[in-house]
Structure formats: C-alpha cells, structure tokens
Structure 1
Amino acid sequence: MESQDFIFLAGLLKTQSGLALTMDKTYLLNSRLQPVAEQYGLKTISELIARMRATLTPQLRQDVVEAMTTNETSFFRDVKPFEHLKDHVLPELLERRKQRRQLRILCAAASSGQEPYSIAMLMAEQSARLAGWNVEILGIDLDTRILKRAEEGVYSQFEVQRGLPVQMMVKYFDERPNQTWAIKPQIRKMVRYRQCNLLHPFADLGQFDIIFCRNVLIYFDHPTKRDVLDRLDGQLARDGFLFLGGAETVIDVTQRFVSSLHRGAYTPRPATETVRAVA
C-alpha cells in the first residue's frame, strides 16, 4: 500500500472512529478492506481508495469504518469485573438508591451483545434483591451491523462456550437449529441498543450509575482516550462506577477519576479534590 493511501485511510478512521493506526498495521487494512472493495465491484484496495477519494458517500464511509472495527468480545469476559459488580458495586448502589429503586447501566462498545447480556443475566440472578426495581441496561456501539446481531441475541456454539457457565447457558438460552443458541426473551428485553459514536457528545443518553467501557481505549491515542474518559465522566453519577479493561487505566490520561476500593473500577473524583492538569 502506498504511504499516501495509508495516510488517507488512517486519517479517515481516526476522525470517524478514533482508531489509531500505525504503518505496521497495513496488513490489517488489506485483510479487512478487501471484502469491502469486492462488495463495491472493485478488484483491489487501491481501486477502493480511489473511489473513496473521488466520491466518499456516507454508506461507503460507514462500510469502511465498520470493516475496521474490532468486535472481539465474549460472555463474562475476564470474569473479575462481573464478580466485583455482583459482590461490591451492586450491594453498595442498592443501598444508595433504595428510595429511587432505579439503576441505569451503560455498556460502551457493546459489540454483538455478550457484555450487556452478561450483565442482564447477573441481574436476573439477583432478582430477589431487585424485586420492585427498574434496571435499565443500554448497549451502544458505532457499528450498526454488529448492533443488529446484538438485538437478535443469537450465538454460535463456540460463542456461548466462551466464558458462559453451563448452568447459565441452560437457564437463559434456547437451543436453535444449526448449533446456535438464542438468549431467552426475558433477558433480551432487559437490554436496549443504540448506535452511538464515543467521539461525539452523547449527553442525550442521560446519566448512568454504572458504565462499562472495557477494551475500547486500547485502540485510541492519548488525546482521544482523554476526550472519551472526560465525556464518560459527564454521563456517570457522582457516586457511580466506571469499569475499564484489564489493560486500561486513567493514570496519566485524565484526573477526573480515582480508583475505588473495588479493583478494576473507578469513581468520579470528588469536587473537593485538587485536579492536576494532564498533558
């Protein structure tokens, strides 16, 4: 791939999705964009780039960005965050919200739905404690096609075997033909999905008590990480909790969050604390 073509694509992806690509990721562009080229009746990625330079329609731009989106996910991924949610965060919030009896949970970069459905199953397991509560789970993602999959809630045998305890698979899924499994309606109804770009303001989503934004920031450069975290801070209740991925941190990125006593979770920095500027 010509360097000017790489610069063009990398700039487009950075602007549209926040994805920060370096020249050593050229192979990724080649492997993921070749099917897009063929979809448009073009033989090579060079022809695709020429088409984009000449006429970049909204649909073509969306197809290219979605092709480059990483949708790696699994049920109860990394386990620990869900254990901390169940054992520490949820009991604390249930006490704090006992008058309002409402919880709002956001899953950023929800992908094909495994994370929000994992949370929904966890909440279903706590049904006795949550009797009379209104629990809203919202999954957002940039990729409209992957959100359609999430809404359908149908998974392959391989997908349900990745991280999902057998007892939960039996309890919350219905077996379908061709070795697929469909999440039961009562769990699917607990989750709503919406297309949303983390790079743009999303204040209209409202405020949340818990935000999962896991394994997302690792794809962004430093300024984009800071912008996204600062934006999430604006949507998180002052006594809420933010869960990041195991390889992600707020340290040296933003001063808006502090580590809570619950490993892997962060809380908004109290307004009384001094905030040091982060370059």
Structure 2
Amino acid sequence: MTPLDYEYLRKLLKERSGLDLSADKQYLVESRLLPLARRWNLAGIPELVQRMMKGGADALVAEVVEAMTTNETFFFRDKIPFDHLREAVLPALAQARAARRSLRIWCAASSTGQEPYSIAMCLKEASALFAGWRIEIVATDLSQAVLEKAKAGLFSQFEVQRGLPIHLLLKYFTQHGELWQLNADIRGMVQHRQLNLLHDLSHLGTFDVIFCRNVLIYFDQDTKTGIFAKLSRMLEPDGVLALGAAESVVGITNLFRPYPERRGLYQPNTVARAGAVHVLKAVASAAR
C-alpha cells in the first residue's frame, strides 16, 4: 500500500464515517481490507483503491467503510456503566417518569447487539419498577451487516462467555447446538436501525438515556464537538449520557456536566444548552 493509497482511504473514511485514522494505522487498514480485496478478486489494497477511484463502486465503498468501522463489543462491557444504570439511573427515572410511564433509551454504535441487549436485560431484571410501562430501546449502527446479526440474537459460546453472568445466560437464552439465542421477549425490546452519526439525527426524537460508548475515541475534536451538540439536543433535560471508559466531555464541550458520583455518566448542562439554542435561533433568523 502506497502513502497515496493510505491517504485516499483516510480521507474516504473520515468523510463517510467520521473515523479519524492516524498516520501509523496502515497495519490496521491492511489487516481489515486485504481479506475484503480478495473477496472482490483484487490483488491487494492498491487495486482496491483503484477500483473505488474509478467510480460506480458504491457497494465496494460501503463494504470498506463497514470493514473499518466494525468494532469489538461484548455483554455488559466494562460492567460499571450497567451497575450505574441498575443502581442509580433506572430508579431515578422510574420516579421522574411515573406520570407518563414511558422510557426511551438509545444505544448508538450498537454493533452486533451485545450492548442494547445488556440494557434490555437490565430493564427486564428491574421489571417491578416498570410494570405496564412503554419501554423503547433503539439500537443504531453504521453497518447493516452487524445489525442483521444483532436482530437474529444468535451468539457463539465464546461471545456469551464474555461478560454475561451465567444466571442471565440460563434465564434469557436458549441453546441451539453450538449457538445461544436470546429469547424472543428480550429481542423484541430492541429496535435496530442503520444510522450514521455524522448525519442528521433529529428524526430519532428525544431520549431519557443515551449510550454512546467506545465510538467517539475514533473521531477528531471537531467531529466530537458536533456529535455532542446533537446528543445534547436529543437528551431530555434530566436525561443521562453514558460514555466509554476512555471518553469524556472535558475540554470538548460544556453542554454536559458529570452525573453526581457516577463516573462516565453525564447530564445536560441546561444553562449552556439554552445558550446554544439561542445562538442557533439567531443564526437561523439572520439566514432568513
């Protein structure tokens, strides 16, 4: 792979997915795209790049983006955010939403489904708090391929052994040969939709909880700032944003403030958000 090939791929991935590859990630590109090139009967990455540059290769470009943005996931990843969800977030929301008796949760960059299904199991375990409620979990990802796998709810022995407590495996899964399938009631709690975080997100509506974990680390500062602005507008004033262990709003945006005594959780900074809304309205008015 030549430096020009790598620069073409870096620019393509940044424009299509927000993925910001540093100059030393050629090894990652080669490991993920060489198998793809072979499936397309291409000799290597230079030929892959040439094929895309000729135009009319939308399917190939989509596969390249999917190959580079499919990230690792597993059940109850990092454990602590799910402890926070069970111990603090859900009880607080059960009280705050008692009048309307509904709850909306968004899991962004949901990959093959382990995270939204972990959230669904948390809610199922807390069913006494939410009996008769309308619960909506929306799981989105850029890759249609991983969403299809998530919808099936079929996982290997290796996948269910990573982070999933044995009592939940036995309670919510059925074994089919060497695979384990989530029971229909858990699968039915999650809606799967294809979505690019760089695009307009307003059609999703507003949420009480947003999980956007282990995805922003791949974006540059300006892209992170833009995504945080979108997430702020989509979160209820008392809603909760969960970020990954290596992610933070510090130094990027003032639209969120830390959730009290719960590391990795944030809530809207209503003062800063009101100011941002005022600026957006002034800009829109001036444009007219």
TM-score by length of 1: 0.96
Q: CA deviation at 1:247?
A: 0.6
Q: Which residue of 2 aligns with 1:6?
A: 6
Match of 2:98 in 1: 98
Unaligned runs of 5+ in 2: 277-288
Question: C-alpha distance in 1, partners of 2:132/2:275?
Answer: 39
Amino acid corresponding to residue 204 of structure 1 in structure 2: H
Q: Deviations over 1:34-82 (max 9, x none)?
A: 1221122111111111111112422111011001113201100111111
Match for 1:126: what amino acid?
A: A
Distance in 1, matches of 2:142 and 2:273, equals 34
Amino acid at match of 2:222: P
**How far does residue 273 in structure 1 lie from its aligned partner after superposition?**
8.4
Deviation at 1:275, TM superposition (A): 7.0
The structure whose residues are more often helix, as a share, is 2
After superposition, what is the alpha-carbon deviation per residue over 1:94-136, rounded to whole angstroms, capped at 9, x for unaligned? Answer: 1110000000000000000000000101111111111011110
Counterpart Cα distance in 2 of 1:272 and 1:82: 28
Residue 215 (1) aligns with residue 214 (2): yes
Other structure's SS at 1:271 match: helix
Counterpart residue type for residue 33 of structure 1 = L
CA distance in 1, matches of 2:274, 2:97: 28
Is the partner of 1:5 in helix, strand or coil?
helix
Partner of 1:160: 160
Q: Work out the CA distance in 2 between the residues paired with 1:273 and 1:21.
A: 31
Give the counterpart letter for 1:134 in structure 2. Answer: R
- Determine the structure 2 residue equivalent to 1:247: 246
**Given the superposition, is the C-alpha separation of residues 205 and 275 from structure 1 closer, same or farther in structure 2, using an over 3 Å criterion?**
closer
Report the aligned-residue RMSD.
1.4
Distance 1:110 1:216 in 2: 10
Give the letter for the 1:27 counterpart.
Y
- 1:23 positional shift: 2.1
Q: Is the 8 A contact 1:208 1:235 kept in 2?
A: yes
Q: Could you say which residue in structure 2 is the equivalent of 1:174? A: 174
Gaps of 5+ in 1: none
Contact kept in structure 1, 2:225 and 2:253, CA below 8 Å = yes
| Partners of 2:21 and 2:208 in 1: CA distance | 33
Aligned to 2:123: 123
Residue 168 of structure 1 aligns to a residue whose secondary structure is helix
Q: Deviations 1:227-269 (Å, cap 9, x if unpaired)?
A: 1111111111111000000110000111110101132210000
Work out the CA distance in 2 between the residues paired with 1:70 and 1:215.
Answer: 12
Q: Tell me, yes or no, if the aligned pair for 1:255 and 1:275 is still in contact at 8 Å.
A: no
Equivalent position SS for 2:137? strand
Structure 2 counterpart SS, 1:23: coil
Kindly report which structure 2 residues correspond to 1:69-84, keeping only aligned pairs within 5 A, or say none: 69-84=69-84
TM-score (norm 2): 0.93
Q: Distance in 2 between matches of 1:43 and 1:161?
A: 37
1:65 aligns with 2:65: yes
Q: Which moved more, 1:62-71 or 1:167-176?
A: 62-71
1:269 matched to which residue of 2? 269
